[in-house]
Amino acid sequence: MLTLKLISEETERVIKGLEKKHFNGAKEAIDNVLALDKTRRETQQKLDKNLQECKLLSAQIGSLMKEKKTDEANAIKENVSKLKESAKNLEHQLDKTQEKLTELLCTIPNIPNDDVPEGKDASDNVIVKEGGQIPDLPEDALCHWDLCKKFNLINFDLGVKITGAGFPIYIGKMARFQRALEAFFLEEARKSGYLEIQPPYVVNEASGYGTGQLPDKEGQMYHCNMDNLYLIPTAEVPVTNIFRDVILDEKDLPIKRCAYSACFRREAGSYGKDVRGLNRLHQFDKVEIVRIDKPEHSYESLNEMLAHVEGLCQKLELPYHILRLCGGDMSFTSAICYDFEVYSAAQKKWLEVSSVSNFESYQANRLKCRYRNSETKKTELCHTLNGSALALPRIVATIIENNQTPEGIKVPKALIPYCGFDMLDNNNF
């Protein structure tokens, strides 16, 4: 969440940033935060003064009792008793005000970086880079759902039978191909200095709160009611929460972690042709990269992460472009976000396969993730970053469509050592 220091010292910048994100009632929300913070500080001052007076008076009682001044001592005791009752009320007021303040801050999104373009939705995003060659497919080229049926690679109907729509079953070579992609992405991350983590697939409320999924996205997460746990929408959640309530040494930054996980998303309200096949699933596999860094170095880290994801697209021989998201299309928690999209030649459309974001101190403030400055010895908030490197379903869809032949689908050269075959076809063993 936004820090009170930022809100109080740069109020106008915060309001303008929230308006850039099209956050309704930005000025009213910030005014309410400042008013609650003022009440909190005034109450704290009253409580501190009360407790100090109580301490001074209590010290007098013993001396008066020794001097046999019982009446004076009892009068002070009565005064101390009233002060303690007042202090109890002030503490209650302080707790309530702090609770309201925290609840309000949790409803306010992160403000965008100055480089974020103005805009209301995805149509206003800006293409910052393009790469790869769009294949020239014949007119009778098949979309991936038809190719999967033709070569018996993925069975969407069986998934519906067992669970429901959005839970496909991968068969034979395609199951091996999924494992190959996961291994390839993890190995590339390792080569880039990311330490692999194998995280839990369910998290508690505190973890969802720390990375900003709660209370913003609880409707999009699968909830295990009996245990009050949530299935993860991305490995970002458990991996970043490793550093919740942690003070790091400056010399250890940037911290680089990666993780493969299954991801679970309800995707409530999604329907139509844009969710067909692998385009939008409720369960899918993804490799995530996460960084914890110092504020002054976090944008260098962001550029390194962008270069890493771009390298994966290039090695998979996929046509891609990189979009800088506009204010109106950004997530609740991000300060800046870049989307990678690959071109699906049979569907004739761009499919998002990665988002790479810098959250600056927004997540770290919720997580209480800090580092100790080696010069000042003071603790400061870290910056957190994450990115998909990569999400499998749409990568698979694009590889299948762009590399189709009458005999099967050609496997990109970079993946052959990982899967042990060069063609996805009806020979499924």
Render the burial of 121-140: b for 16+ CB within 10 Å, e for the rest: eeeebeeeeeebeebeeeee
Question: In whole angstroms, what is the distance from residue 56 CA to residue 60 CA?
Answer: 7
234 is in an annotated binding site: yes
386 is in an annotated binding site: yes
248: its two tokens: 């790091």
CA 29 to chain centre: 23
- CA quadruple 16, 369, 385, 12: dihedral, nearest 10: 10
32 is in an annotated binding site: no
Cβ partners under 8 Å of residue 100, min gap 6: 36
Question: In whole angstroms, what is the distance from residue 386 CA to residue 293 CA?
Answer: 11
Give the type of residue at 63.
S
Question: In whole angstroms, what is the distance from residue 302 CA to residue 91 CA?
Answer: 43
Give the type of residue at 246.
V
Instruction: Determine contact, residues 402/345, Cβ cutoff 8 Å.
Output: yes
Instruction: Determine contact, residues 323/336, Cβ cutoff 8 Å.
Output: no
53 is in an annotated binding site: no
Give the type of residue at 412.
P
288 is in an annotated binding site: yes
384 is in an annotated binding site: no
Question: In whole angstroms, what is the distance from residue 86 CA to residue 47 CA?
Answer: 8
265 is in an annotated binding site: yes
Q: Tally Cβ neighbours within 10 Å of residue 398.
A: 27
374 is in an annotated binding site: no
Q: Which residues are annotated as a binding site for ATP?
A: 265-267, 352-355
Q: Which residues are annotated as a binding site for L-serine?
A: 234, 265, 288, 386
Q: Which residues are annotated as a binding site?
A: 234, 265-267, 288, 352-355, 386
